[in-house]
A = this chain, B = another copy of it.
């Protein structure tokens, strides 16, 4: 019997090792080499024990690598009976393939990226040119185009709604796409004419940015992203 119980003893194991039949691959000896290897009885000093622990550690290392290779082999179709190098070759192909597909899709769709961001744009700003004071506008209609990208989470929508409401803005249009635990949204926000009269445009945008960044930008982004590698996927929400 193959003894690989020490395989995942301390290592940050990202993949599930199935305990039964760890490597479904040709030429895997089904004997424990440590029992097979006869160390001479006359040479049982600390050198021998060091050598033994060394070879055991090395076996653990090999097992870790091979375990990943075997999970990789399960992910790649028709990779059974493949060479190690050939397997890795098809993995390279698949990664490139999938990367190409996802970036291609990202171009045609409003797809979330890996970078948190919040942008705010004043759509009808050109009507204010020539006006010295920003708070005195010729036109009362205010439309803000807001786009954000961040990790998805259940409370996100209610937080956004509360934030938008608190600034007396209303959602004219929204396009939200969620993908792989990330979410990207583009909102068209309107300020009612009544409210628009009393508001300084600059501070409104500032406030909106602050509150949106508080919602969207994850604290210590890099750490969070590393921890939340494995996330669920779900279908995109689309509402108006």
Chain A positions near chain B (C-beta within 8 angstroms): 11-15, 61, 64-65, 67-69, 71-72, 75-76, 84-86, 88-105, 107-109, 179-180, 229-230, 233-236
How far does the alpha carbon of A76 sit from the alpha carbon of B91 in the complex, in Å?
Answer: 12
Smallest CB separation, A100 vs chain B (Å): 5
* B100-A233 in contact (CB<8A): yes
Inter-chain contacts of A69 with B (CB < 8 A): 88
- A–B Cβ pairs within 8 angstroms, 27 of them: A12-B89, A13-B89, A14-B89, A15-B89, A61-B85, A65-B84, A65-B88, A68-B91, A69-B88, A71-B92, A72-B91, A75-B92, A75-B95, A75-B96, A76-B95, A91-B95, A93-B229, A93-B230, A94-B95, A98-B98, A98-B99, A101-B179, A101-B180, A104-B180, A105-B109, A105-B179, A107-B235
Majority secondary structure of chain A interface residues (helix, strand, loop or mixed): helix
Complex Cα–Cα for A172 and B229 (A): 45
User: Does B93 lie within 8 Å of A65, measured CB to CB?
Assistant: no
Q: Do A85 and B68 touch across chains, with their CB atoms under 8 A apart?
A: yes
Q: Which residue of B lies closest to A178 (CB)?
A: B104
Copies in the complex: 2
The complex places the Cα of A94 from the Cα of B95 at a distance, in Å, of 8
Q: Are B233 and A104 in contact (CB under 8 A)?
A: yes
Which of B84, B95, B99 is within 8 Å of A72, CB to CB?
B95
CB atoms of B88 and A68 under 8 A apart: yes
Q: How far is the CA of A13 from the CA of B230 in the complex (A)?
A: 32
